[in-house]
Amino acid sequence: MTCPCPYLAMSKVVHTMFTIIQKNFDQYGDFCGWEVMATCASLQHAQVFAAELCNLAGVVRTLVLDDMGMVVCVES
């Protein structure tokens, strides 16, 4: 059975991506912005990856954002 309205059929598909961003500092230790580090398809994978990125960078703020830009996880 096919849906009579293709837009209605597409509205049932949920594409949630999680973006990992990390705080950047310049050579003098001053805050200079945020850098997008990666995107992940699952929240669990994004949380683990954010923690790994945070550990690699030392003590730095790392955030996971959902597809609406809301913070869903913070590593520090």
Helices (DSSP H) in the chain: which residue ranges?
6-11, 43-57
What tens-digit pLDDT sequence spans the chain (76 residues)? Answer: 444 545 545 555 555 899 999 998 888 989 999 999 999 999 999 999 999 999 998 878 999 999 899 999 998 8
- Beta-bridge partner residues of 20: 38, 64
3-state secondary structure of 60: coil
Cα–Cα distance, 55 to 37 (Å, whole number): 14
Quote the pLDDT of residue 11: 52
- Nearest CA among 68, 56, 75 for reference residue 17: 68
Q: Which residue is listed with tokens 């730095």?
A: 60
Quote the pLDDT of residue 21: 95
Structure tokens at 61: 């703020």
What pTM does this model have?
0.75
Quote the pLDDT of residue 50: 94
